[in-house]
Amino acid sequence: MVPKLPPLEVDMQEIQKDPDQRAAACVNLRLQGAPFHEIAKELGYPSAGIAKSAYIAALANMHPPEDWETLRRTEQARAEAQLRRSTQMANAEYLIAHDEDGTERYIANSDRLKWHEQAGRDLMLHATITGAKAPARVEVSADTEELNELVRRLADLSGAGGDIEANILELDELEAEIVEED
């Protein structure tokens, strides 16, 4: 199967006139895996940064900022679309190119290895977003009492026993001990 994006069945000039339709189109294109520079070109935004701002604003208008689940699901859908596209491109032996007169011709896909690598990165992104890949680092925050108790238990387990008296030296005494050792 040769990957080919379906043509848009909408009038882009009408979408560009209506801000609500343009915002919805921006979100839909992003969900289909389009990068912001392509969205800017397709919808007539001056730059990729402005297209990204429009995407974020459209999401904020659709859902409250506290709705992290919506953002997670949005990025999950985008990661799935990217994974589908990169897998299709990795498996395609030929790609379709259109000549100026509209005729189709097939070109050998010489970048299959790069697309396989991209599919691996897309799969890792999808696993991270969905939570299938557990975090590698766990942070524990404890108050002073809990830390003191933890240190006491570790000292007991290591055989150090109870409290140990510390010998505190003044800076002059420390320098004198260093000189004596040399």
Residues 54, 45 contacting (CB under 8 angstroms):
yes
Q: Is 122 exposed, middle or buried (0-12, 13-18, 19+ CB in 10 A)?
A: buried
Return d(Cα 49, Cα 122) in angstroms, integer: 23
User: Helices (H) and strands (E) in the chain — how many of each?
Assistant: 8, 2
pLDDT in tens, 97-120: 888 888 888 888 888 889 889 888
Question: What digits encode the pLDDT tens for the residues 20-66?
Answer: 778 888 888 887 778 889 989 888 889 999 988 888 888 777 766 66
